[in-house]
Amino acid sequence: MRVLLVTSRGTGRWVIPKGNVPNGALPHVAAAEEAEEEAGVVGAVCPTPIGAYRYRKRRGNGAKLMADVEVFPLAVTAELTRWKEQSQRERRWFTLADAADAVDEPDLSDLIRSFGPTEFNAATRRTGMLTAVAEKSRFTHMFAWFQRLLPKTGNFFELFEAHAVTITAAADALSRLFQGGGPTQDHIREIMEREHDADGIIREVLQTVRKTFLTPFDRSAITSLIGAMDDAIDEMNAAAAAVDLYQVTEFEPEMRDMVAIIVDAARLTAEAMPLLRDVAKNGARLHELTERLVRMEGHADEIHDAGVRRAFKEHGDAPMKFIVAREIYKHLERIADALEDVANEIDGIVIDHA
């Protein structure tokens, strides 16, 4: 994961694109416009902010006044070769750690650090006690023979993480599809391929549950979690299929906002999966992620209702257009619902094992 920063025009320090919200504008829309003007990037901006920070802004008269900034995640899908403030700023991609170190504002630094899967590397490098003993004692061949006699525990964590990757990739493709304005078939095909990959993963999970003697969680918790994840990507596939069937090429702002929430919710799901390797240690962070997922689903419901209401008003004299719009909204709402179900399943695991 990378974060794009730009230099400020006055001091040349590294900052995120930002600006004032025009009267009547939605904050996340204004944030996306600032990103395009200052950094030359476009993509899916999530309407739900990830947090806020404060800093002192220098006015033209020399005064330094405190400003509050809401931060919205924007999944970049294209970098422009020419943009409004190209000659006034430098832009650069940073790792999460380097971006957090590059900015001056402590609160913004903390927001950037909390954005990514901080536990992933630690989880993948974690060594089991028996493996560590074998390495220390150098009885690796003998240990391998002994290990084969132990009850199988399954590779559930790897499968959870692999499925989360498919969800994230499908959500990104869904975002590109709903931006409109270009060929759609490649994005639709990618979503369908990702859903096919996810089907293979869930089949392996269900087979592994039946064959495994020791499971890390209750068997019903494993099947419910992977089932909720699979429901999310199934509905992404259904949404793409509806777009393809009805040849939809233009999408309402509310649809794009819901997709942006889905993109960020998929990212949070991908962050949560490696943390399940050590629920006792990561319980607090998992709860933070699930709480945010639940909030985002509530926000998606509000946007869904507003979108359906507007579609009804605009297409009152064209019932088929309204029916098509309502079906697409239905699938987008179901994706958000499924990702909330994932959060609830994770919460259940945390309650049982943390």
Rounded mean pLDDT, 323-349: 97
pLDDT above 50: residue 121: no
Q: What is the pLDDT of residue 154?
A: 65
Q: At what angle do helices 219-245 and 156-179 cross, to 10 degrees?
A: 20
Rounded mean pLDDT, 66-86: 91
Q: What is the pLDDT of residues 254-300, one digit of tens each?
A: 999 999 999 999 999 999 999 999 999 999 999 999 999 999 999 99
Cβ 306 vs Cβ 257: under 8 Å:
no
* CA proximity to 165, closest of 121, 128, 201: 201
Q: What is the pLDDT of residue 116?
A: 66
What 8-state DSSP symbol labels residue 276?
G
Task: Give the chain's radius of gyration (CA, Å).
Answer: 23
Q: Which amino acid is at 142?
A: M
Instruction: Return the ∠ at Cα 50 (arms to 44 and 53), rounded to 5°.
Output: 120
Greatest Cα pair distance in the chain: 79
Rounded mean pLDDT, 55-71: 74
Cβ 191 vs Cβ 238: under 8 Å:
no
* CA proximity to 49, closest of 19, 78, 29, 23: 29
The Cα 330–Cα 134 span in angstroms is 54
Kindly state the helix (H) or strand (E) to which residue 137 belongs, with its residue range: helix 129-137
pLDDT above 60: residue 120: no
Q: What is the pLDDT of residue 318?
A: 87
Count of other CB atoms within 10 angstroms of residue 127: 8
Q: What is the pLDDT of residue 127?
A: 40
Q: Which amino acid is at 49?
A: P
Scanning the structure block, which residue is given the tokens 């859903």? Answer: 195
Kindly state the helix (H) or strand (E) to which residue 319 belongs, with its residue range: helix 319-353
- 41-45/74-79 β-pairing: antiparallel
Cβ 17 vs Cβ 35: under 8 Å:
yes
Band of the pLDDT at 215, cuts 50, 70, 90?
confident
What length does the chain have? 354
Rounded mean pLDDT, 63-74: 83
Kindly state the helix (H) or strand (E) to which residue 79 belongs, with its residue range: strand 74-79
The Cα 120–Cα 338 span in angstroms is 23
Q: Which amino acid is at 346?
A: I
What 8-state DSSP symbol labels residue 182?
S
Mean pLDDT of the chain: 87
Q: What is the pLDDT of residues 318-327, one digit of tens each?
A: 899 999 999 9
The Cα 271–Cα 264 span in angstroms is 11
Kindly report the pTM of this predicted structure: 0.74
